[in-house]
Amino acid sequence: MTTPVLDREEYVEQAHLFHTVRERLGENLPVQDILLAAHDELLTTTRLPFAVQFLVTELKHSGHVGSGFAKLPHYFTPFQTFVVTQAETAGQKFEMRTAFLVLEREAAYKAAAVSQAGLFVYQFETVTRNRLGYNPALDAMALDPHYDPVWKEFVAFARRQMGVIDLGQLVYLRSEQYVADVRRGEPTYEPPVPPVFGVKEGKIGKASRGREPVYLFSALQRQLGYPEVPKPNQRDDLKTKLDVITGKLKELEQRIRLAEGELRGSIDLSQFGKPDILKKDDEE
């Protein structure tokens, strides 16, 4: 099942939820408790409260938020699932708070005047800055419902070109600016594939060829108002390490309590029911 483009109010509420989770994670609270508390704050005319209810149930069952996202493909996009899952992967230097900040800004952008070019650059920079792995990330990006067929083809093309051509050159070659430049010498020139970036993006891409991608990203943000990607957290002090250890101990303690409850037969997941967001699929 593919994710549809949601109503604006859904993205507004998603941005609020991700912001709330991110802030309260800084207080070393368990994700499950944060989601339970945030559930009552969400607008009930949206489907997000049902999705949160399911995420809480999935957390109790598997201990992972990412698996909950993955089981709601008609609400959360594959890229959202990818970002959260990467933050939960052992050994990744990609913190959960950073992941939720990435999702918060993406949802806020989708609630505003989102463009396909701006969304692609934001998602691509997220992957680049945090070293999340191009192939699985671009596979997930290509499934975003905001991309039309032409853009989906471009995302697949970009995946094949990683390591072959730099991003500035790629942006320039697939822009209206490149077509205009060629037509100065060949007035009848028609590109074999349609451009996906406009003239402004093309000019910035042309000026950024052969340079580090971060300069391209920064220029697009300054000149065109593209959303800014959170910078990786470089802190490595003792307090940070202690906070991480404390959070892991709390999570381990919670899992032990859940395991003990299951052994005693005192946990009944059926009390949470099946969210309406999933019942609709069964009916279909």
Tell me what pLDDT residue 269 has: 45
Question: pLDDT value at position 283?
Answer: 54
pLDDT of residue 241: 65
Choose among 201, 179, 193, 200: nearest CA to 121: 201
Contact 229, 126 (CB under 8 A): yes
Residue range 202-255, pLDDT digits in tens: 999 999 999 999 999 999 999 999 999 998 765 555 655 676 687 677 767 766
| pTM, to two decimals | 0.80
Q: Which two tokens stand for residue 218?
A: 């920064």
For 95, list phi and psi in degrees, rounded to 5: -75, 155
pLDDT at 267: 47
Q: What is the pLDDT of residues 178-212, one digit of tens each?
A: 999 999 999 999 999 999 999 999 999 999 999 99
CA distances from 88 to 48, 63, 79, 115, 225 (A): 22, 10, 14, 29, 31
- List the chain pLDDT tens, one digit each, 284 residues: 678 999 999 999 999 999 999 999 988 889 999 999 999 999 999 999 999 999 999 999 999 999 999 999 999 999 999 999 999 986 678 999 999 999 999 999 999 989 999 999 999 999 999 999 999 999 999 999 999 999 999 999 999 998 888 999 999 999 999 999 999 999 999 999 999 999 999 999 999 999 999 999 999 999 999 999 998 765 555 655 676 687 677 767 766 766 666 676 654 444 434 445 445 555 55
Q: Which helix (H) or strand (E) holds 104?
A: helix 96-111
8 A C-beta contact, residue 39 and residue 49: yes
